[in-house]
A and B are shown apart, each in its own frame.
Chain A
Amino acid sequence: MSGEFIAFFILSLFTIGGAVFMISFTRVVHMVVSLAFTFLSIAGLYVLLEAEFVAVTQVIVYAGAVAIMMLFGIMLTPHREQEEDAGRAQKVVAFIAVAAFFLIAFFIIQGTTWDPSVHHFTEDNTTMIGKTIFTQYVIPFELVSVLLLVALVGAIILAKREENDSE
């Protein structure tokens, strides 16, 4: 049993555990904190896949920005702690759908024979990522900047408080 396997086991446990707790907690702040655990554990899984750069980006973007922004949003807005209960029938249907999808995906992944050989990255993959983004993937990369600009404009105009607002 290598350290890698133990690390994988622990990280998967945290990832799934964080996600499950995220759903089962009733207080929103608890949910976000457990979600942050999931984000961090996913970053750990990326490290095991030798994708250090993606792992670090995951931490910066999700744990460092998204989780904190969510906490901010929750703390600055009034909210009731108990959510309204969805109907029983709705819960049953949702459970059946999710369980069915899980079983299908599980059996498909189980039933596929994978190539067991492992490919290791020999080169410095951060440099490679940088070079590829700015050469081959430059069109989607520039488009992403348009996307972010649009999201920024949208966030501002939808969230900005008007001068004539009564509050």
Chain B
Amino acid sequence: MEQYLTQPLSLQTFIIFFASAVALLLLVLGFVTYAIYFERKVIGWMQARIGPNRVGPLGLLQTVADVLKLLLKEDTIPKKADKPLFLIAPIIAFVPSFAVLAVIPFTDKLHFADLGVGLLYYLAISSISTIGVLVGGWASNNKYALIGGMRSAAQMISYEIPLVMSVIGVILITGSLNLIDIVERQREIGMWFIIPQFLGFIIFLIASISELNRTPFDLPEAESELVAGYHVEYSGFRFAFYMLAEYVYVFAMSALTTVLFLGGWLPPFEFLSFIPGIVWFILKFSAVVFFLFWVRATMPRIRVDQLMSLGWKVLLPLALVNIFITAVVKEFIA
């Protein structure tokens, strides 16, 4: 990224930067719109319902209508709220979710920043969102929002550690933090990291669901306990920002899982390589997204103390064991 920064900032390069960012944003918005639709449909089918089917053909325009409704709503600010923080918090939560997408390689050609520390960049930037959630919950001056924000931050911090630890096995095998190198390495050893790093994959999957605040770890927004969690006082487009951040993270995390453990754009078998990489990427990516929805439809929510002890007493030691085994195996094979 240095070469872009050091060259003179001409109008042309600026337009290129801007246009590619806008294109990605539109893509992500499209994804979010239909991910929500898809989620509702999937859960509907699993619960033997039909799901949205009124707005547009097959209900395809349902989310569009929902978004329009959100944007037209009044932007309320509680009287006792801490106004500046209340206004800025959704933005703090959203911006990192979009910024992490910069390092995700969709195929070997189609990617934005080829960063040497790509994986760490993702983990670092995504941790900033926690500040937005926490500050939003605090600034609302509402006990449910505050408890939701606290829970969310505690959960995100606790599960960030096993999340980071679980990918160290992958980093050890690859010898690089660059996400493109990680995929290339999976091509070299001839198998996706889900096989040699199965334990790491399981830990990563559980921790990532928790990082996304999704069921069974959706304690920050447990309706039955907290009304709606940290964004209870938000409405209109500020609420939309929080929702958007959440779904963009679903997009990013699924893409990251695909890249780290499922071989990114690599085909499962060599003879299938005539199909373009982007198709494979989308297929694997969709499978991961579907898995997230599936879990949401089938799992009950766990308790706070269970959540904490799972993170610290089960996942973290397992992740350490995984690192240890990987290091030993690597030492013996090398």
Tell me the A residues contacting B by CB distance below 8 Å. Answer: 1-4, 6-7, 27, 29-30, 33, 36, 40, 47-48, 50, 52-53, 56-57, 59-60, 63-65, 67-68, 71-72, 75-76, 124-127
* Cβ-defined contact, B157 with A126, below 8 A: no
Given A30-B84, A52-B116, A59-B124, decide whether A71 and B134 contact each other with a Cβ distance below 8 A: yes
Q: Which one, B2, B82, B131, contacts A71 given CB within 8 A?
A: B131
Q: How far is the CA of A8 from the CA of B127 in the complex (A)?
A: 24
* Cβ-defined contact, A68 with B120, below 8 A: no
Q: How far is the CA of A29 from the CA of B132 in the complex (A)?
A: 12
Q: Which one, B8, B128, B175, contacts A59 given CB within 8 A?
A: B128
Minimal Cβ-Cβ distance residue in A for B115: A52
Which residues of chain B are near A72, meaning CB under 8 Å? 134, 150, 153-154
Q: State how many angstroms separate the Cβ of A25 from the closest Cβ of chain B.
A: 10
Q: State how many angstroms separate the Cβ of A46 from the closest Cβ of chain B.
A: 11
* Cβ-defined contact, B131 with A63, below 8 A: yes
Q: How far is the CA of A67 from the CA of B153 in the complex (A)?
A: 11
Would you list 6 pairs from A and B whose C-beta atoms are within 8 A, ordered by A residue? A33-B85, A57-B124, A64-B124, A64-B127, A64-B130, A127-B176
Which residues of chain B are near A71, meaning CB under 8 Å? 131, 134-135, 138, 153
* Cβ-defined contact, A2 with B153, below 8 A: no
Tell me the B residues contacting A by CB distance below 8 Å. Answer: 1-2, 4-9, 82, 84-85, 88, 115-117, 120-121, 123-125, 127-128, 130-131, 134-135, 138-139, 146, 150, 153-154, 157, 160, 175-177
Q: How far is the CA of A1 from the CA of B7 in the complex (A)?
A: 9
* Cβ-defined contact, B7 with A3, below 8 A: yes
Q: How far is the CA of A36 from the CA of B153 in the complex (A)?
A: 15
Q: How far is the CA of A125 from the CA of B2 in the complex (A)?
A: 14
Main secondary structure of the interface of A (DSSP, over half): helix
Q: How far is the CA of A50 from the CA of B116 in the complex (A)?
A: 11
Given A50-B2, A75-B150, decide whether A68 and B8 contact each other with a Cβ distance below 8 A: no
Minimal Cβ-Cβ distance residue in A for B124: A59
Give me the 10 closest cross-chain CB pairs, A-B, nearest first.
A64-B127, A59-B124, A3-B9, A56-B120, A60-B124, A56-B124, A3-B5, A52-B117, A4-B5, A56-B117
Which residues of chain B are near A47, meaning CB under 8 Å? 1
Q: State how many angstroms separate the Cβ of B3 from the closest Cβ of chain A.
A: 10
Q: How far is the CA of A134 from the CA of B150 in the complex (A)?
A: 37
* Cβ-defined contact, B8 with A3, below 8 A: yes
Q: State how many angstroms separate the Cβ of A11 from the closest Cβ of chain B.
A: 12
Q: State how many angstroms separate the Cβ of A143 from the closest Cβ of chain B.
A: 21
Minimal Cβ-Cβ distance residue in B for A30: B85
Given A64-B128, A64-B130, A124-B116, decide whether A56 and B9 contact each other with a Cβ distance below 8 A: no
Which residues of chain B are near A33, meaning CB under 8 Å? 85, 88, 131, 135
Minimal Cβ-Cβ distance residue in A for B92: A33
